Structure 1
Amino acid sequence: MTGARMPAVVAADLRKSYGELKAVDGVSFTVAEGEFFGILGPNGAGKTTTLEIVEGLRKPDDGSVTLLGESPWPRNPALLPRIGVQLQASSFFEKLTAREQLRTFGSLYGVGPAKADEMLELVGLTDKADVQENKLSGGQRQRLSIACALVHDPDLVFLDEPTAALDPQARRNLWDVLREIQARGKTIVYTTHYLDEAEILCDRVAIMDKGRILAMDAPATLVRGLDAPTRVILQSGALDVVDAEGIEGVDEVQQDEVSLTITTRRPAPVLSDLADRGALDGLQVRTATLEDVFLNLTGREYRA
């Protein structure tokens, strides 16, 4: 949490088991008002179950949750106008256009019909207002689903893998929508499998596996804590291997048919030396990312 912002979400020691499976095993976190908070993890990590407990859709075996100062379980009607939920699998009313979908969802919260057009503009669907939902593309349906979760202007928004199965262009467009939502002062809690977008969008992330939080902090802080080496990649022939190994700060040099890769934990003197040698053309510098942190914590084995 940053500054003096009040907590929008407080989850304390949440637990949920199904037989021998501990889907959520002692999860605790706090989300500040206005924060963009991500829950990351491999398949089966417990992300969706945790989110459903926090949203008040599922009762925990133990632990407690408060949203905006109130408990979401048992079902709390006073909270419903203040939270918006977009689930992994969204359901729409049959044979309604995008505008009619939004007007119908809004009417459930006493929202007037004019709000529908505002939300269509927010998610970039104004030109699809009169198109039936089943004729929209996957990315357009995802944006409509988020609009339905926001039509009543909630303070706190939950999004479960909102960019799943979208093509790269649709995913980037949705990033702009999510940034605009946060810019309006909303608190966002979401899950994703895309580590690059979490690193860009989130103020903080929690990395989960096997029902537990393994690490939680700002993405940049987690990356710095990994203390991973920097890789400097040169085009093949730009520098001899022996010369590269003699540069101050170089830990390892590898060469293949297309490139020479220098591994270092002191990139500054390495890059300075390469500049002096005129070897910067085509150079690439690769530092650690949130994905490296994720794999270091959860392992690299395939998850079904």
Structure 2
Amino acid sequence: MTGICDGRVVVVTGAGRGLGRAHALAFAAEGARVVVNDLGVGLDGTADPDSPAARVVEEICSAGGEAVAHGGDVATTEGAASLIRTALEAYGRLDTLVNNAGFLRDRMLVNLSEDEWDAVMRVHLKGHFLPLKHAAAHWRTETKAGRTPTARIVNTSSGAGLLGAVGQGNYSAAKAGIVALTLVAAAELSRYGVQVNAVAPAARTRMTEQTFATTMAAPKSGFDAMAPENVSPLVVWLGSAASTGVTGRVFEAEAGRITVMQGWRRGPSADKGARWGAGEAGETALKLLGESEEPGPVYGS
């Protein structure tokens, strides 16, 4: 380990299992003091009697690191505010926020209920916005006091948010929203010393057990391509001071592959200089489509 996070205080949401746990352990191994947040619920949102956050804290401390648990709901104002307070009260500072918490309510659109839509939007999108808001408010105060931080936010999107996924209209929309939130936050918060990026990971977690069912067996090569630990090195680097100058970017991370996503860019264009008629607008649109790149296929299509 290089210790690239020595002295930093890192908050990771949804860190009791899967990707969040891997991130928390990886940050601690690189010298960070970690606030491990997990509400401790099942995939369907119901209470889990076990305390996954406490178990991860125990793992970190047993390995010689420092960590504290936080069990609040980060999709509420009080839960998000208390998350940031926990870092400040425990360690006196906050350097990095990793927004990772999430769950699924998968349905085809015609079967998707309003409650299932709202629940996923709340946990993913609101659960990113509120911790980001409260962390940013702290860093703004620090900057105004003459203590501009070297702060980092790493958000968690998904390939579903970048390309769409059949049966995941709610999840895809929420994860696409996180990308837009990342871009806006990167632009708004740079004046306070904050860099904001997003990762779109592919890994084996409780949320993806069915998706990666064919790759769940123990690897014969010795490299477990779907291990969540494969994603964490990039997240740790983005959350460290070493990533200076990198902000407003989205990365895919899967197995041993890291990809910079290029997102929406203006492609072929035509300007008449006046209002189009419907027919000629259609003819022009077809011509421009012929000159443009084909979009990637929706997952599951």
TM-score normalised over the length of structure 1: 0.36
Higher relative contact order (CA 8 A, sep 6+): 1
Tell me which protein shows more helix as a share of its residues.
2
TM-score normalised over the length of structure 2: 0.36
Q: Which has the larger radius of gyration?
A: 1
